[in-house]
Amino acid sequence: MSDDSQPTPEESQDGSSHNAARRGVLMVGAAGVAAAVTVRPAFAQTAASVFNCEIPVPEPVYGGQYIALDGTLVPAGTQGAFPGAGRPFTGEEVRQALQGRSLPGTTAEQGSAYMNYIRRLRAGQSGFTCYASIQVPR
């Protein structure tokens, strides 16, 4: 057979052109396997980054405001409201809180207020992308 994938006239006559077609199919199949192998690590990296992303409570532009039990922002010192968290929560911490665990370093009421704040996040707010990606099924 010649170096290129086209069968020579002799190959066409003795049925070897079928072998050339098989080689083409095998090459396409091999390319598909390589693509699948390279996509899997990307999913693993995405999953890892989701759990390490951060959600500030509240968003830094709202510094000084407190968080009411329903998750809304209220003026500092409002009765029954909590000051913002001292640090952002990781995606993994929030994912665990969605499954019933407490947010680290919070009381039950404080954690509930923070989770209500996080649930109210909208596109454009810090932490929204992280929160949205936690909810995407894997």
Show me where the domains of the chain are located.
9-49, 54-134
Distance CA 29, CA 132 (A): 35
∠ CA 86-91-92 to the nearest 5 degrees?
A: 105
Mean pLDDT to the nearest integer, 102-123 = 96
Is pLDDT of 99 > 50? yes
Digit-coded pLDDT (tens) for 32-62: 554 444 444 444 445 556 678 999 999 877 7
Within the chain, strands assigned E span 54-55, 66-67, 73-74, 82-83, 89-90
Confidence category of residue 91, pLDDT binned at 50, 70, 90: very high
Going by their DSSP bridges, the two strands 89-90 and 82-83 should be labelled as unpaired
Mean pLDDT to the nearest integer, 100-106 = 95
Burial label for 126, CB within 10 Å (0-12, 13-18, 19+), is middle
Distance CA 95, CA 40 (A): 22
To the question of pTM greater than 0.75 for the whole model, the response is no
Answer with the residue of higher pLDDT: 93 or 138: 93
DSSP string, 29-57: HHHHHHHHHHHHHHHHHHHHHHHH-EE-S
Answer with the residue of higher pLDDT: 57 or 13: 57
Confidence category of residue 131, pLDDT binned at 50, 70, 90: very high
